Amino acid sequence: MSAVTDGTAVPSLQGVTAAAGFRATGVTAGLKPSGRPDVALVVNDGPSDAVAAVFTSNRAKANPVIWSQQVVADGVARAVVLNSGGANCFTGSFGFQTTHQTAEAVADVIGVGAADVVVCSTGLIGVGGEAFREGVLRGVGLAAAGLSTDGGPAAAEAIITTDTHAKQSVVSVDGWTIGGMAKGAGMLAPGLATMLVVITTDADLASDALDQALRAATRVTFDRVDSDGCMSTNDTVVLMASGASGTTPEVGDFQEALTAVCADLARQLQQDAEGASHDIAIEVVGAASEDDAVTVGRSVARNNLFKAAVFGNDPNWGRVLAAIGTTDAEFDPYAVDVSMNGVRVCHAGAPDRPSDQVDLTPRDTHVHIDLGVGPHAATILTNDLTHDYVHENSAYSS
């Protein structure tokens, strides 16, 4: 599909190269036993080089996150290089040196400084060594030779690990465009960002405006995907602006479009979560504050008993109330209403309509929780807990 022009994000065939001023590609460097593409490169040809990024809040940060936090501190970046097939986390000083050498290799081939190259990695924690380093550096050379203005799809393919497909989205408004790609299927829990995301725009905005818009967008999108409650060591969302459109939109308008792209990519992450058979939206309303609504929704999203019940098509609303009762949110447990797929099964903390009226067989599942104490609301996206999820993660290292 091509980008639309009304501000609505759609899955895209171009992703990060939909915006003018960007080239990208994805190549096979031999990092994955499967032989699938594993190194991606996205280059901003300008004229602007503004950047903003958010990273995992996990205290156990991978080497590329430590490096990239320094890169974006001055608001300038010219490229993002990403590898799958190894997280380069807990790989010691050798791992950080590998990250630095990767940035230097990109800098040499595109003619910029290493301090202007963001580095991202994804894959198994603890994977490193000479073979990993040689593969990544080999991939940089191959990618530099294959950069193209229509290379977005190849880049999106090269960053996936347990994902079943690449994830891209684009929005185009009034002569400027935002395009993005994402990867993520496991360890999907928030910490400013969720998994690896690269977003590009040809709008002409300074780094402080990009940072403002990005933090506002991720707060209500990626930060509210909580598929399995497990926070990655490598989570990165980076936004680069080329300014190639020559248009400077209002920050509010840009933020709205950016949020649409982030929301679309977040939804794609949820729909591809490892082993999931239900995509669950937990909508909390009637909260005393937005933070309370998020806290309540996240508590339900991380409750394994609730998630297992949904997998079994069992509308066990008692597990919902038990989950929210563990929070410090303001509410009276005996004044809460719970609906599942449009059927109110609990009213004022007591049974309402019979549970057998609830149909949980559709993949899309909606849980509506009314706390009844205020005007605030929030929605958390999660998934059920399935046999396939357990099997996939029990065999991840093998």
Residues with catalytic function? 194
- The answer to whether residue 169 scores a pLDDT higher than 70 is yes
Structure tokens given for 106: 């990109």
pLDDT at 190 over 90: no
The confidence score (pLDDT) of residue 123 equals 86
Please state the rounded mean pLDDT for residues 332-354: 96
Whether residue 79 contacts residue 40, with contact meaning beta carbons closer than 8 Å, is answered with: no
Residue 246 has pLDDT above 90, yes or no: yes
Would you state the structure tokens that stand for residue 192, as one six-digit string? 């400013």
| Residue 191: predicted pLDDT | 64
Residue 81 clears pLDDT 80, i.e. is over it: yes
Domain ranges of the chain: 15-271, 279-394
Q: Which of 57-61, 225-229, 314-318, 337-341 bottoms out in mean pLDDT, i.e. has the lowest?
A: 225-229
- Least confident range from 119-123, 131-135, 184-188: namely 184-188
Top pLDDT among 398 and 171 is at 171
> What fold, for 279-394?
Ubiquitin-like (UB roll) (3.10.20)
The stretches of 147-206 forming alpha helices (DSSP H) are 152-158
State pLDDT tens for residues 280-334: 999 999 999 999 999 999 999 999 999 999 999 999 999 999 999 999 999 999 9
Sign of the torsion formed by the C-alpha atoms of 293, 280, 299 and 345 = positive
Query: pLDDT-based confidence at 1, cuts 50/70/90?
Result: very low
User: Treating both helix axes as pointing N-terminal to C-terminal, what angle do 317-324 and 304-311 enclose, rounded to 10 degrees?
Assistant: 160
Q: What share of the chain is helix, strand, coil (3-state, %, to 5)?
A: 35, 25, 40
For the residues 115-121, what does the mean pLDDT come to?
Answer: 97
Q: 227 exposed, middle or buried (CB, 10 Å; 0-12, 13-18, 19+)?
A: buried
Residue 193 pLDDT: 57
**Residue 47 clears pLDDT 60, i.e. is over it:** yes
- Residue 4 pLDDT class (50, 70, 90 cuts): very low
Identify which has the larger pLDDT, 398 or 156.
156
The pLDDT of residue 2 is 33
Instruction: Give the residue-averaged pLDDT of 23-47.
Output: 95
CA-only gyration radius of the chain, Å: 21
CATH of 15-271, one of 3.20.20.10, 3.60.70.12, 3.50.50.60, 1.20.200.10: 3.60.70.12
